[in-house]
Every structure is written in structure tokens, then in C-alpha cells.
Structure 1
Amino acid sequence: MWNKKMGIIGLASALLLVLAGCGGKPSAAPANNEGGITPPAVVSGAGENAEASAQPAASTAPDITAQPTASNESPSAAPSPDSTAAAEKQSNTIDVYYTDSQMMDLKPAKADIAYGSEIEKYTEAFKALQKSDNPDLISLWGKIELKSLKFGNGQIEMDIHKPAEAQLGAGGESFALSALTKTLFQFPEVQSIELLVDGEQVESLMGHADLLHPMTRENSQ
């Protein structure tokens, strides 16, 4: 009898141990949630909204980049150098001296010159001396080249080149020097003329008359 009771008690104890072991065993986590974090529930249509929000929204702000505007006002035209120089030039009518066709005498004629400086005034006077519009008046300096001209302290310094075809006789040489001095000494500020040939002082321009250095109003009478 005692043995039977002890057997029933042992069986009940074993059953309690089995039940206790089953109740303490943790439930297995889902295979696709290894970290134990429950994924958020996806509401129908949320995926489409998420994709739409991920796309950059088209800018509706107006383009305020400054664009150059065409001006209706035309810029004032700057004066050209030629027109400015022409406006500053002075005009003058001078006496220029030539000889007659027989080279017997000096003859004055009028010539118009335009100049912007004293140097240009004397240069233009010499250019007028080199040409004649009157067939009865002959230039005595037409074949002579003016290389340079300077002016200072009342003196004109001229450097010329005289080619062989510019050679004149004794009368022609004398008239040529007189024509030069009479033409340039009409300007009251000119007191003397230093005439050089290829940069050098020479005793005679063409080998017939003495060439003074310088020629002055007094010694050129």
C-alpha cells in the first residue's frame, strides 16, 4: 500500500517538472526578424507617397537672373582724330616766292596753308614753295627734299637733301636762297634760318654763292 502511494507521488512530481519546463521555454522569434525589431506596418499607398517625396520638386520660383536690357539711347559718337585735328588747325594766306620762266626775277604769289603748330606752319610754307599752280611761275625748290625742320629761340633749322637734278646755275641759286628767306621771314617770330645739307653745314648750296650760317634778316637783304 505504501509503495503504491509513493509511486503515485513520484509520477505526479515528474509530471509537474515536465509542465514547469514547458511553461518557462521562450517562444521562437520569426525567422525574418533576427534583430528582434518589429518592422513598421506599411499603410496602403504610403510607398507611392514616399517615392513622390524623394523626387526633387520642380522650382516654381521665377528666374531673377539679371539680363542686359537693350538701350534705346544710341551712344554719342566720339569725334574722330582727323576731325579733331582739322578743327584745331589754323588757316592762313601767305606770300610764296617763285621765279619767272626766264629766271630773270622773283615773283610773289599767294598760297593758303593750314597748320596746327608752328613747326607745321613753316613746313607747310616750305611745301608751298616747292610747287606752283601757275605755269608762268617756276618753283626753285621743287626737287629738293626737306628731311627735318626745327624751331626754337627765333631760329628755324632746316635739314635738306639736294639731288643732282636740283642743281641750278649762279642766278638760280641766288634766287632760290632769296625765295626761301623772303617766304620764311614773313613770319615775324622767325629771326634766323640755319640751312643744313644732309645734316652738315656747307659753304655753298650749289657751288656758286656763299651760304651763311645762319641766314638772318639783316644779312639776307
Structure 2
Amino acid sequence: MNKKMGIIGIASALLLVLAGCGDKPSAAPANEGGIASPAIVSGAEGNVEASQQPMDSAVPDITEQPTAGNESPSAEPSPSVAPAEDKQSQTIDVYYTDSQMMDLKPAKADIAYKNDTEKYTEAFKALQKSDNTDLISLWGKMELKSLKFENGQIVMDIHKPAEAQLGAGGESFALSALTKTLFQFQEVQSIELLVDGEQVESLMGHADLLHPMTRENSQ
């Protein structure tokens, strides 16, 4: 009887041992100072989830500054635009006739120009118009085809339409108005006036047209 009870006790002990070996721990053992949270893995072993990584490694550094000698192309200065050439301005005397065409009358006019050729062209344009109703332009209906200046001489080529025709007194005043206006520029020594590219004996058929007109023969 005692022997039978001993066998039963041994068998019971073996069952208890086997039952204890089948249990698995449900949590990692506690470390000193608290319980450690288990690491969460995803994919390959040891690959820690991104939310557990340090913040410094998760955000790329975009504040890097260019080093000397390696500036960004956008930092290069834009090429400067050359300023337009400035014009000179001058107030000149321009000659007209009175409403009765009895005499020549001077008036002031402002012109702007970049070079000598443009200066004399603008002076002739001023001779063609008057802002004063009491002063009449004698060249208003003439057409300037070309003008050039070389070696102290102005060479003008004009076209004279039929409506630009004047009487003897008007033609004389017109030539005097032209020479007085252009000879006020000290560098101008002579004026060669052409009609449609040709030298003509008379501008309007009443007075001789000299080739060229000079300061001496235009007095």
C-alpha cells in the first residue's frame, strides 16, 4: 500500500514540473527604476519603428548655407542696363515775319538734340511752326528731305510743293529767316540748299539762290 502511494506521489510531481515548464512569460522583467517598454519591431529584426527614432535623424537639415566661392546662381547680381543717351537742350532764336509780311521778327524756341545734325534739323523744324499768331512761318509748307553737316557746312535737301510758293518779298524774307536761324550756331560757316537733290538758280523764281550761302554773302 505504501509503495502504491509513493508511485502516485512521484507521478503527481512530474505532472507539476511538466505544467510549469510549458508556461511562457507575458512581459519582460522590470529594470531598475521602472518597467521597460518592449520595442516594437516591423519587418526585419532590429528595425525600430520610425516613431521611436530620434527627431534629429527624421528631419533633414535644409538650412545649409552656401560656402564662399560656391554661391547660388540666384544670388548673382543682374547685369545693369545702360542708360539711354541724354539729349542736350538749348534755347535759340527763330525768325518769322509779321502778319503783313513787312519785316522779320525773332522769337525764342527750345530744342533738344543728341548731335549736330539733329540740332540743325530741330532748328529748321522750329522755323516751320510758330506758337504766336502774330508771327508767320515762311517755311511751314516746305518739306525737309535730308540734312547733314560736315566741315562747317550744312547741306539741306528740300521739296517745295506748289502751296509753298511766295512772292518776291516773301522769298527774300524766307531766305533771310533761314540764314539768320542757322548762322547763330558759330560752327556753321555755309549752307548749301538743294531742291529735290539739285542746285537751282532761284528758290521761288524771284531772288538768286547762292551756292553756297555764307555769312558774308547773306548779310
Partners of 2:150 and 2:81 in 1: CA distance:
35
Aligned 1:68-79 pairs, distance under 5 A: 71=74, 75=78, 78-79=81-82
SS of 1:71 mapped into structure 2: helix
* Within-5 A mapping of 1:56-67: none
* CA deviation after TM superposition for structure 1 residue 76, in Å: 5.6
Query: How far apart, in 2, do the equivalents of 1:197 and 1:118 lie?
Result: 22
Structure 1 equivalent of residue 18 of structure 2: none
Match of 1:132 among 126, 130, 133: 130
Partner of 1:183: 181
Q: 1:155 aligns to what?
A: 153
TM-superposed CA distance for 1:204, in Å, is 0.3
* Secondary structure of residue in 2 paired with 1:213: coil
Task: Report the equivalent of 1:207.
Answer: 205
- In structure 1, the partner of 2:89 is 91
Q: Which amino acid aligns with 1:175?
A: F
Give 1:180 deviation, angstroms: 0.1
SS at match of 1:183: helix
Could you tell me which amino acid in structure 1 is paired with residue 134 of structure 2? D
Q: Which has the larger radius of gyration?
A: 1
CA distance in 1, matches of 2:75, 2:150: 53
**In the alignment, which residue of structure 2 is the partner of 1:219?**
217
Q: Percent identity?
A: 84
How far does residue 152 in structure 1 lie from its aligned partner after superposition? Answer: 1.1
Tell me, in whole angstroms, the C-alpha distance in 2 between the residues paired with 1:74 and 1:172: 63
Q: CA deviation at 1:177?
A: 0.1
Q: So what's the TM-score if we normalise by structure 1?
A: 0.64
Deviation at 1:75, TM superposition (A): 2.9
Q: Deviations over 1:26-83 (max 9, x none)?
A: xxxxxxxxxxxxxxxxxxxxxxxxxxxxxxxxxxxxxxxxxxx68367736524xxx6
- Return the alpha-carbon distance in structure 2 between the equivalents of residues 97 and 178 of structure 1: 8
- Pairwise CA RMSD: 1.6
Question: In structure 1, what is the equivalent of residue 120 of structure 2?
Answer: 122
Unmatched 5+ residue regions in structure 2?
Answer: 1-71
Of 164, 169, 172, the match for 1:171: 169
| Corresponding position of 1:194 | 192
The aligned length equals: 149
Deviations 1:171-204 (A, max 9, x none): 1000000000000000001111000000000000
- Structure 2 counterpart SS, 1:84: coil
Mapped to 2, the partners of 1:158 and 1:130 lie a distance apart of 14
TM-score, normalized by length of structure 2?
0.65
In the alignment, the residues of structure 2 paired with residue 215 and residue 77 of structure 1 have an alpha-carbon distance, to the nearest angstrom, of: 48
Report runs of 4+ in structure 1 exceeding 6 Å deviation.
none
Superposed CA deviations along residues 101-141 of structure 1, whole A, max 9, x for unmatched, are: 11110000000111110100100100000011111111000
Partner letter of residue 179 of structure 2?
A: T
Aligned with 2:210: secondary structure?
coil
- How far is the alpha carbon of 1:92 from its aligned partner? 0.5
The one-letter amino acid of 1:78's match is V
